[in-house]
Structure 1
Amino acid sequence: MAEQRADGTWDLIVTPWHLDEHIPALPTPTAATRVEFPVLPAGPVPARMSLLHQAALGAVTQAARPLVLSGDCPTSRAAVAGLQRRHRDLAVLWLDAHGDFNSPTISTSGYLGGMALAMLTGRTPGLFDDTLDLSPIPDSRVVLADARDLDPAERDALTTSHVRRVPANPAAITSALSHLGDVPVYLHLDIDVIDGAQLPGARFPSGPGPSLAQIEECLAAACTTADIVAAYIAGAWLPEHAGDQTSRQTITRLTTALGASLTWPEPTGG
């Protein structure tokens, strides 16, 4: 098992998929570990996703301080399961334009990407196999920032939960993290939390919201306030935009705000 880094540096991991769809264009920074996309059998999407999450789990478990760059949110199951192998208690800071708090019983679309936080809090029993050995995160240990785009039933579920909801601004995030006490924090960011006008090519833009600069300030504040033991950036761009220059620049700015030093390989070809 990897030991926690004392110098605060990050171990970059790339998981190049969205649900069970391979996104080969998702770029890999220099020195990052790219999780190999395995050959998936035909079958239900959750079963195929389980195999991908198992592959990601291995990379996260071996990393001392993982920073995952992914094409979706549900692979956070693997990130959190890996962290739970070394941290008995764990809190979650989740920055997202959506709540990701739907479950199979309340979702109107059945879209699994909209259930990622519900998965972590134990609201999707039986959806996946139990090979990750993932323990539910208590609602009281979850801070959800922004979540401006909610389905009605999802809003009700959040209202009756003990998830702490805050705006995506540094002061609110600092206060919420301070209330959690001295507990390691998993930081999760979906790029769609950023104002849709600044995200060309996003799969699910959510209209006006915090600027990229404001989100950078939120990330920096979180790192100053809490013990961020892992971070995850879900870059849910359309496949043809996943590796373009604008997407890379956005990821570079977000990772820099987390204190990561990220470089990209030189482009090849004519």
Structure 2
Amino acid sequence: MTTILVPYHQDERLLDDEIPVSADITVRSQVPDGDAWQRMAGVCSATAAAVSPVVAAGGIPVVLSGDCMVAGGTVAGVQRAGVNPAVVWFDAHGDVHTLQTSTSGYLGGLSLRLLNGAHPDRYADAIGLRPVPAERTVLVDARDLDPAEVEYLAVSATRRIPVSEVSADTVPSGPLVLHIDVDVIDSGEVPGLRFPVPNGPSTDAVLAACGRLFATDRVVAFDVACPWSRTDDEGQRNIRTQLLSRLAALAHPG
């Protein structure tokens, strides 16, 4: 089992214990200076360098970070290993904004669109990512969408499905990178999220859906984003630790 910790929220360095896992590899960016895009490119490039040899050796890396932007690094690492994956993206949000449509300016809201090739000079080109075509992307849940995201998804080749419909038959063929933002789970079950969204699926439902994909033996990397705020509350930390343990067990049963 290879667990890769990427202790960053976008370009912000987190304390290692903010994502409570025992990691085999902890990613350190070598680009401390520059603007936010350059620093994020450094984080994603370092992630790709950690992921690639694990995939090349036949392993399934579990990549845990504080933000969805890291997913591009995970995919780039899989590609470097000679694998051309589709992406299944679990998230309470759409993450399909561009710089032109975002009203908040929060770059995490662009994560999936960047993976699909938006603003390549700032992201894909900078980290050595070959953008994943929209038709090779499935967005799961995304119950909190801005109007611009609704408009985009209405015409995009990206398919959107509920958690209950996730199966081998509803995702693209071939190898898969499975990305899960833990805020896809109902906010009542995951405390301290930066952007909590109520009325979502249960932890058990999300884990079961991920399990159905792992059962296909087509998942080549598991990317988990933990966009929560730091807490010293032991109850909250225990919930987070248990959730991450259950997620990691999907990739490495037994």
| Same fold? TM cut 0.5 | yes
Q: Aligned pair in 2 of structure 1 residues 31, 103: CA closer, same or farther (>3 Å)?
A: closer
Structure 1 equivalent of residue 251 of structure 2: 258
Quote the offset at 1:86 in angstroms: 2.6
User: Which of 148, 154, 160 is 1:165 aligned to?
Assistant: 160
* Structure-2 separation of matches of 1:128 and 1:222: 28
State TM-score, norm by structure 1.
0.85
Structure 2 counterparts to residues 61-76 of structure 1, below 5 A: 61-64=52-55, 65-76=60-71
- Counterpart mapping for 1:108-147 below 5 A: 108-128=103-123, 130-147=125-142
- Asked if the contact 2:3/2:22 (under 8 Å) is kept, the reply is no
| Alpha-carbon shift at residue 129 of structure 1 (Å) | 7.1
What is the RMSD computed on CA atoms of the aligned residues?
Answer: 2.0
Counterparts of 2:20 and 2:49 in 1: how far apart (Å)? 18
Letter in 1 for 2:116: T
1:173-211 Cα offsets, whole Å, 9 max, x none, are: 33312xx23x11000000000001001111111111100
Structure 1 Cα separation of the partners of residues 63 and 23 of structure 2:
13
Which residue number corresponds to residue 30 of structure 1? Answer: 22
Partners of 1:31 and 1:208 in 2: how far apart? Answer: 32
Q: Assess, with a 3 A threshold, how the Cα gap between structure 1 residues 198 and 156 changes in structure 2: closer, same or farther.
A: same
Aligned mates of 1:129, 1:167 — CA distance in 2:
28
Given candidates 198, 211, 217, the residue that maps to 2:189 is: 198
Distance change in 2, residues 1:241/1:23 (3 Å): farther
Aligned pairs, number: 247
Q: Are 1:99 and 2:94 matched, yes or no?
A: yes
Displaced runs of 4 or more, over 6 A = none
Asked if the contact 1:14/1:28 (under 8 Å) is kept, the reply is: no
Deviation at 1:28, TM superposition (A): 5.4
**Shift in CA distance, 128/136, structure 1 to aligned 2, threshold 3 Å:** closer
TM-score normalised per structure 2: 0.90
1:60 matched to which residue of 2? 51
Measure the CA separation in 2 of the matches of 1:21 and 1:80: 21
Distance 1:28 1:197, change over 3 A: closer
Q: Distance in 1 between matches of 2:101 and 2:134?
A: 18
2:81 matched to which residue of 1?
86
Tell me how far apart the structure 2 counterparts of residues 61 and 241 of structure 1 sit (CA, whole Å).
Answer: 34
Offset from partner CA, 1:82-111 (integer Å, 9 cap, x none):
111234531101111011111111111111
Alignment partners' CA distance in 2, 1:161 and 1:103: 14
Q: Percent same amino acid at aligned positions?
A: 37
Match of 1:93, SS?
A: strand
Matched letter for residue 244 of structure 1 = R
Where does structure 2 lack aligned partners over 5 or more consecutive residues? none
Q: How does 1:15-54 map to 2 (within 5 A)?
A: 15-24=6-15, 25-27=17-19, 29-30=21-22, 32-38=24-30, 40-41=32-33, 43-54=34-45
